[in-house]
Amino acid sequence: MKNQPEKKYVVVVQCHIVKERCSGCLCEFAFNNRTGGFTDYPKDQNLRFLTLTCGGCCGRAVHRKLSHFIKQVKAKENLKKEDVVVHLSSCISKDNYHGPPCPHINYLKTMICDKLGLDLKEGTKVSDTSEKLQKEGKYNEAENPKRN
C-alpha cells in the first residue's frame, strides 16, 4: 500500500444495517484524533474524510458508490485512485457491540481491492466497552486475512 502521508482522502465504508442505529461519531472522532485505525496518519496531515455505507448485504453497492466517488474526485479535484485509502469500519471488520464481523467481508475486499484497485485498511474505532469485552473473551477478533 502507498504510504499514508501521500494519501489525500480517507473513505470509511460502514455497515448499512449498523448505520441505521449508529451515527458513526466514534469513527469520525477517531479519524480527527488519529486514534484507533487512523494512528498511521499524522495529525498535521490534511486529509479529506468521507463515510458511506456498503448499501446492505451483500455489499455490492460498494462498487457503484466508490466508482462514482473516484470518477467525481478525478473530474473535480484531479485526484487519482492512489490518493485514496478505504477503511472498512470496525462494525464490518471486527467482532464488537454491533455484532460479529460482516459475513461478506471477503467479497467487499475483492470489490475494493481487486475490482477497483483501491488501497484498503481494516478498522476505524472499537468502543471502549467492546475493547474491554474483547479482553475478557466475550468478543473474539475475526480470523480474516488482511490486505493492509
Which CATH number covers residue 13?
A: 3.40.50
Q: Does any domain span residue 140?
A: no
Q: Does any domain span residue 45?
A: yes
Bigger pLDDT: 137 vs 119: 119
Range of the domain at 26: 4-135
Global confidence as pTM: 0.85
pLDDT digits (tens, 9 = 90+) for 28-61: 999 999 999 999 999 999 999 999 999 999 999 9
Q: How far apart are CA 2 and CA 98, in angstroms?
A: 31
Phi-psi region of 59 (alpha: psi -120 to 50; beta: other; left: phi over 0): left
Contact (Cβ atoms closer than 8 angstroms) between residue 22 and residue 29: no
Q: Does any domain span residue 146?
A: no
Distant-in-sequence, close-in-space partners of 128: CB < 8 Å, separation ≥ 6: none
Of the candidates 81, 137, 97, the one whose C-alpha atom is nearest the C-alpha of residue 15 is 97
Contact (Cβ atoms closer than 8 angstroms) between residue 35 and residue 119: no
Bridge partners, residue 49, by sequence: 10
